[in-house]
Structure 1
């Protein structure tokens, strides 16, 4: 029998929707920085006087940087199991085929988000590819999935260490050449030695603040759509291709595998005891934040003085510990949210967060639309114009818009507009959209 009806409201796991809503809104805390300011401007906050903007950036970095995206990835991993666990047919396809089709459409939406909406930090393209890769893992037991997540996380750490080791090697070759020049000022360098020297000098130059280049970047982003597109495409191509396969792939795979394991243990579906969630919240945040704050000096030194960072560091602490910092902190935040949900306080907030999470696809792309139109030149052109703290007024406004919009929309419709489009494309048939109003009660005129 054909079965392509949307999941009924009573069948949805409310806590997954709530956590997805929290993660989605939390992601904007970091993304807004890239939407509104240049990377050079953000690094200047670390290099310059440590005022209020520096501390705001530092606190957000420690508490939320990569952690909300990690939680979002975990929930996507849980969603893989949820989709494949239900018998579905549509467009002449069985569940596995529909899943692959679903992921292929997600890849297409990701390309639209990156190449049309011009958000270089898109994750839909990555999720689409990784979801297909993880398809065979969905039947593994939770412990095996956890082991796989740890192994992939270690590979991620290893990749970061490898990059660090390559830079250290370049620095050592540079030092050898400089020592040779000091010893004999008239020495004629070979082509290889010249390359060794210029390679490290290029790295140092790229790490320094270039005011002229920064201004040119801002001018380009405040220009018309064609200019912004030409300026952004190289960065988008790097994120969607080489950087993805070198770094992001391992990051996303590890978190999705962890999410699949946690789902099988009942973590996301609110099945653990209150004591378990309390211990996970305390332990996760304590371990994750300890790693975050211990790694902070290494992270900042890389920005302020890359030569000292490479020469004095044995291990790139921030990069190597990143998978574990993210994993523990994300679990801690999720556990804390579930504890608060169990308390029964603020039912209106949980309803709104659940609506945002149920419409996560629509809301994620809405953030791209709202932010690019506000900051980029073909919209209001505020790129590079706001102070760091002012970015979070925009975050608050977008949060409010999405909370209200999501609740209002789901009052009349089964799911968000892009969720409807995605499902319709996946199943090859237009899905029911409007909620069926309840039939009026018939009251007899005469008793």
Structure 2
């Protein structure tokens, strides 16, 4: 309990060593397991289908696949990733305030090394395993900027999280405003051409027309391009690599630095605040968790379902979406929708855990969460080998509902693997590698191995 109070107050211990089993906070592992498995609910769609084919379900809103996608989108999209980001923020505090090994380095230097290695793992996940929506690369970068924040009070961290969320909303609104501006420049040109079909446009008018028509084309279904995407993803490794390269570059550079960094930053800061308040370590009262579960899910889900028509209209009729809307509701709500919903889901999980319901389930989820790093990359390995052409080549071949059969199989495999592995080892294989690289020496792996004595770090 003294250690936990030190974590929440932000006091830094003068020595550093890798976390041992007795120091783990069970609820963090359980929530991390829930988030890790929940992330696959959304990622599986990108693993197995093209974006265009998913949009076609929205353009033809009927049948079980449409309602399944709508349900998953409303309940879980971005919420589980947000919870994962919150827990990573809590992990920053834990790393910098728990005691570590006598590595000859102080805690901030070890933390920077840890984050730099995480960036390397993220690059391997993106460029080696060809998963364009990797989050490890982004977490590694954002985490480096966040470690000075650990001494802030929970209230100050919450304010910072809200500010970052507002900037993220503002970025999405700015993008919408730029699109609306292109539409407004196009309108008089369209009216001019309607009045006189033989009118000769200036270079500026041609550019404005091309900009808007290109934007509209991006939001229309192109069967030929969609089939080409499927064919490329069912090809050999080098073809898939070349096909995914542009998307990976977009996600790890422009998209991240323009918008994504504020999304991750806001959720990590919120996680740091929640950890210091004791929320993530199950230190609130049952009444408080009930209030947060009901309030968080009501507010978050209300935002999710209110923004759904805006999201669908953007896909179905982009011109009507831009011309008729004064505010991109889905984009503006996004950071707050996911924050409220994630807190609600986490509260619900903690209430069930506190009630002692299904303790076997919490043990399983805790094991998955303890091996979250290994399991995250395992999902990339399993799904790319199942769907991509250099594996089994099922990309674009399954219906949406069939993808969730794959999800259930991956979940089962990861639960069994995690439980069996932890019967013999302290860490997951990649957790062990990450720690060994961070500390610059091999860490004890088996439960029977002796740990190194704690020694002070250099000042």
Could you say which TM-score interval applies, normalised by the shorter chain?
over 0.9
TM-score under structure 2 length normalisation? 0.94
**In the TM superposition, what is the alpha-carbon distance from 1:2 to its structure 2 partner?**
11
Please say which of residues 259-268 and 184-193 is displaced more in the overlay: 184-193
Q: Which residue of 2 aligns with 1:441?
A: none
Contact 1:21 1:353 survives alignment (8 Å): yes
Q: Which residue of 2 aligns with 1:415?
A: 427
Q: Which residue of 2 aligns with 1:445?
A: none
Helix, strand or coil for the counterpart of 1:379?
A: coil
Of residues 216, 222, 227, the one that matches 1:215 is: 227
What are the ranges of 5 or more consecutive residues in structure 2 without an aligned counterpart? Answer: 1-12, 451-459
CA deviation digits over 1:293-330, x for unaligned, max 9? 00000000000000000000010000011000000000
**In the TM superposition, what is the alpha-carbon distance from 1:374 to its structure 2 partner?**
0.1
Distance 2:14 2:202 in 1: 72
Distance 1:175 1:411 in 2: 67
Aligned pairs for 1:34-73 (under 5 A) are: 34-73=46-85
**In the TM superposition, what is the alpha-carbon distance from 1:281 to its structure 2 partner?**
0.3
**In the TM superposition, what is the alpha-carbon distance from 1:427 to its structure 2 partner?**
0.3
Q: Which residue of 1 aligns with 2:177?
A: 165
Q: Which residue of 2 aligns with 1:388?
A: 400
CA deviation digits over 1:393-442, x for unaligned, max 9? 0000000000010000000000100000000000001000000289xxxx
**In the TM superposition, what is the alpha-carbon distance from 1:187 to its structure 2 partner?**
2.2
Q: Which residue of 2 aligns with 1:76?
A: 88
Contact 1:362 1:416 survives alignment (8 Å): yes
**In the TM superposition, what is the alpha-carbon distance from 1:90 to its structure 2 partner?**
4.6
Q: Which residue of 1 aligns with 2:294?
A: 282
Q: Which residue of 2 aligns with 1:332?
A: 344
Contact 2:17 2:101 survives alignment (8 Å): no
Of residues 406, 419, 438, the one that matches 1:426 is: 438
**In the TM superposition, what is the alpha-carbon distance from 1:231 to its structure 2 partner?**
0.5
Aligned residues: 438
Contact 1:5 1:431 survives alignment (8 Å): no
Q: Which residue of 2 aligns with 1:272?
A: 284
CA deviation digits over 1:361-419, x for unaligned, max 9? 00000000000000000000000000000000000000000001000000000010000
Contact 1:2 1:90 survives alignment (8 Å): no
**In the TM superposition, what is the alpha-carbon distance from 1:92 to its structure 2 partner?**
2.4
Q: Which residue of 2 aligns with 1:19?
A: 31
Distance 1:8 1:288 in 2: 36
Please say which of residues 250-259 and 47-56 is displaced more in the overlay: 47-56
Aligned pairs for 1:252-267 (under 5 A) are: 252-267=264-279
CA deviation digits over 1:106-147, x for unaligned, max 9? 000000000000000100000000000111111100000000
Distance 1:185 1:107 in 2: 55
Of residues 182, 185, 193, the one that matches 1:181 is: 193
Q: Which residue of 2 aligns with 1:226?
A: 238
**In the TM superposition, what is the alpha-carbon distance from 1:98 to its structure 2 partner?**
0.2
Distance 1:277 1:49 in 2: 37
Contact 1:423 1:431 survives alignment (8 Å): yes
Contact 1:90 1:428 survives alignment (8 Å): no
Distance 1:397 1:35 in 2: 15
Distance 2:237 2:389 in 1: 7
Of residues 399, 405, 418, the one that matches 2:417 is: 405
Distance 1:312 1:397 in 2: 44
CA deviation digits over 1:150-171, x for unaligned, max 9? 0110000000000000000000
Query: Is residue 250 of structure 1 aligned with residue 250 of structure 2?
Result: no
Query: Is residue 347 of structure 1 aligned with residue 359 of structure 2?
Result: yes
Contact 1:4 1:427 survives alignment (8 Å): no
Query: Is residue 196 of structure 1 aligned with residue 196 of structure 2?
Result: no
**In the TM superposition, what is the alpha-carbon distance from 1:86 to its structure 2 partner?**
2.1
Q: Which residue of 1 aligns with 2:330?
A: 318
**In the TM superposition, what is the alpha-carbon distance from 1:8 to its structure 2 partner?**
2.1
Distance 1:135 1:437 in 2: 31
**In the TM superposition, what is the alpha-carbon distance from 1:345 to its structure 2 partner?**
1.4
CA deviation digits over 1:45-70, x for unaligned, max 9? 00014110000000000000000000
Distance 1:191 1:351 in 2: 66
Query: Is residue 127 of structure 1 aligned with residue 139 of structure 2?
Result: yes
**In the TM superposition, what is the alpha-carbon distance from 1:5 to its structure 2 partner?**
4.4
C-alpha root-mean-square deviation of aligned residues, in Å? 1.4
Distance 1:408 1:2, change over 3 A: farther
Distance 1:363 1:87 in 2: 26
Distance 2:18 2:256 in 1: 32
